Amino acid sequence: METVLPPLDRELLARFDVPGPRYTSYPTADRFVEAFTESHYRQALEQRASGVGGLHAPLSIYVHIPFCESVCYYCACNKVITKHHERAGEYLDALDREIAMHREVLGSAQAVSQLHFGGGTPTFLSDAELERVMGSLRRAFRLVPGGEYSIEVDPRTVTPDRLAHLARLGFNRLSFGVQDFDPQVQKAVHRAQSRESVAELMAAARQLSFESLNVDLIYGLPRQTPASFARTLEQVGELRPDRIALYAYAHLPERFKPQRRIDASELPSAEDRISMLSGAIASFLGRGYAYIGMDHFALHDDALAVAKRQGRLHRNFQGYSTQPDCDLIGLGVSAIGRIGATYSQNAKTLPEYYDALAQGRFPVVRGLALDRDDLVRRAVIMALMCQGHVVFESIEVSYLIDFRRYFAAELERLAALAEEGLVTIEPDGVCVTPMGWYFVRGIAMVFDRYLQADRSRQRFSKII
């Protein structure tokens, strides 16, 4: 069903806009432990390869390319800043070894229906280097026709000819990092790019028949004002990307060193941030975009919007997805994966990553084996985040529990949110209201056992 959004209630926002996870997984990555080792990951792969426990989930692959030529001050990603492109050679050697190790365990017949290159800046790699990585992947996996094959693109690093090369390699979806078109904002965050250059690239991408074009925007950046961001929204609206991701900037300089270069006095006020968010939502909806959830919007005929209407939406480490509940292989430094009932993460530094592979080990340094309670709560949280409702019976049948008894404390806490009009608690389930979709992360947090236990939320961004 289509989510018809009411105007954002600012009084509710002031009370409920608290730090919280984005729930690209449950439990969240901050719960991973070093007790989960390379041997646990290998065992999970072997179980998938042998079909133990009925592990026949579709397969998705994420490839992390950490390199960037220059630093964007707002960035919280795992990256390596360098203008020395020759450094990519050693990285691709290691990536080849990691891919080959997966092939040794899984065989080469594993079908992949979703592939995403992220970073860093994947287009830091040359055309030949990208071709090399895709060749390694195709030798190790079977990329099925009709799959979603996407890559994040820094508009400053590509030309229309490079986009044509990406299309020839098999990529059919592009995500352009825009953030803001205002020159003063770009200067404050050290990322200068013109609206005209992005428009040229998007026009070229359409001529090349890419299936979906995404634009990333950030509100809450230094020197942004409601008026300046409205101009960016107007310019993005004219470009008409298929999807828009609208992220709130979280200023956490104690955690992310590049953010220390941002002058905190230039950050917009809380009131201006709310105005920017409200204006963005009104702009997107007025231009025919559907609200997918959290910070995602898509044109009504885009596959993501269709999946939302049909109740087929899923969520993984890359955000909302049309793909069924997938196992995910994370390749590259810091990459996160999911195999069966386990999560894993690779080493976060290049020396650690290289060293593990040189010794013939998967570079996994931490992760988590989910217990029964984790699986139950994951099902509930993902149902809320993706479908906006939880049917008690479906959880009871799948996990052999009495929902009302198992989640008695959670339902009691939800009652307060129901009084605020964010959810409805019905005899057979819980539904997120149209107003509640703004706060869906906060609603999901009610079912997060770890978060309720420690209440240590400052490591997360605000939920709006």
pLDDT tens, 365-416? Answer: 999 999 999 999 999 999 999 999 999 999 999 999 999 999 999 999 999 9
* Domains of the chain, first to last: 1-27+372-464 (1.10.10.920), 29-329 (3.80.30.20)
pLDDT average, residue stretch 20-43: 93
For residue 52, what pLDDT is reported?
64
Q: What is the pLDDT of residue 11?
A: 79
Give yes or no for residue 182 having a pLDDT over 70: yes
For 360-365, the CB contacts below 8 A with 24+ separation are 360/101, 361/38, 362/38, 362/41, 362/42, 362/98, 362/101, 363/38, 363/98, 363/333, 364/36, 364/37, 364/38, 364/40, 364/41, 365/34
Lowest mean pLDDT among 84-88, 308-312, 357-361, 456-460: 456-460
- Amino acid at residue number 171: F
Residue 418 has pLDDT above 90, yes or no: yes
Strand partners, 213: 174
- Kindly report the backbone phi and psi dihedral angles of residue 57, in degrees, each rounded to the nearest multiple of 5, phi listed first: -65, 150
What lies within 8 Å, CB to CB, of 270 at 6+ separation is: none
The confidence score (pLDDT) of residue 320 equals 86
- What are the start-end ranges of the E strands in 88-242? 111-119, 142-153, 173-179, 212-219
User: What band does 438 get if pLDDT is binned at 50, 70 and 90?
Assistant: confident
91 φ/ψ angles, rounded to the nearest 5 degrees:
-65, -45
Average pLDDT over residues 207-221: 96
* 299 — pLDDT class (breaks 50, 70, 90): very high
Neighbours of 190 (CB within 10 A): 15
Mean pLDDT within 406-434: 95
Residue 4, pLDDT above cutoff 90: no
* Cα separations in angstroms, 406 against 99, 207, 382, 434, 455: 42, 54, 17, 27, 21
Determine the Cα–Cα distance for residues 185 and 98; give it in Å rounded to an integer. 39
Pair of tokens at residue 155: 């508009």
Q: Other CB atoms closer than 10 Å to residue 52's CB: what's the count?
A: 12
Q: Please compute Rg for the chain using Cα positions.
A: 22
User: Is residue 191 scored above 90 in pLDDT?
Assistant: yes
**What's the DSSP call for residue 268?**
P
> pTM to 2 decimals?
0.92
Average pLDDT over residues 17-46: 91
Q: What per-residue confidence (pLDDT) applies to 375? A: 96
Q: Name the average pLDDT for the chain.
A: 91
Cα dihedral 22, 27, 28, 30 sign: positive
- How far apart CA 155 and CA 319 sit, in angstroms, is 21
Residue 266 is predicted with a pLDDT of: 97
CA atoms within 13 A on the CB side of 365: 17
Return the pLDDT at 437.
86
Q: What's the confidence (pLDDT) of residue 463?
A: 57
Coil, strand, or helix at residue 36? coil
Residue of 1, 13, 7 whose CA lies nearest to 420: 13
